[in-house]
Amino acid sequence: MREISFDTETTGLNPRGGDRLVEIGGVELWNHIPTGKSYHVYINPQRDMPEEAFRVHGLSEEFLSDKQLFDQVADEFLDFVGDATLVIHNAAFDMGFINMELERSGRRIISNDQVLDTLDLARRKHPTGPNSLDALCSRYGIDNSKRVKHGALLDAEILAEVYLELIGGRQTALGLTADEDAQTASSGGSAAEPGELGNFNAKQRPSPLTRPISEAEFAAHKAFIEGMGENAIWNKYGS
């Protein structure tokens, strides 16, 4: 499953009131694990930089003046996103700017169905809050000391760590760190490439586990899976 931990920086808070996008950062995840691939670009907003926004991210009008326009990077950005789920903290804000810029450039907008809001996840998991990105870093012991000012790529990297904690913590990565290295050494091969994390050879049990359901229940389950088609994820696992 491909996801992209994602963040933006802007000239202000209102995409329909003249504010523009100035930075995009994205970090690719495969089955919740960062692959090392990322996307980052600064964008010329073709307008001034309000002092309040400059204090947040430190991107000046002068610094951005020679950067590409959004229209010039839109196709590259959409190619990177593809059909991946965008993992965003307070997604309505970032997607408001992204879709406004996509509309202005005549491209397709990104549907809400393709977006996962970690702020919603955090509010469900920690209803009494606080649930800002900095507060969640403090809660989960994630080092955000480099976050002196907001930056899209750095915030996307931090968000990837926060997201992992929100969906179950570092247990999600079990079997893909030290065990993976040991397996690589014993097989004489190389580590799996991104997108191939599910293809390693798991150790087999000396004897199969006893099936905890009746034959009738198993037959009904098998019939149900067959009805889902040959691409159903259940078909990747044994019976």
Active site amino acids:
150
The Cα–Cα gap between 67 and 26 comes to 18
Which two structure tokens, joined as six digits, stand for 145?
A: 């000391």
Are the C-beta atoms of residues 194 and 37 closer than 8 Å to each other? Answer: yes
What is the rounded CA–CA span in Å between residue 203 and residue 161? Answer: 29
Residue 155 has a CB neighbour count (10 Å cut-off) of 24
Alpha-carbon distance 118 to 116, whole Å? 6
Q: How far is Cα of residue 54 from the mean position of the Cα atoms in its chain?
A: 26
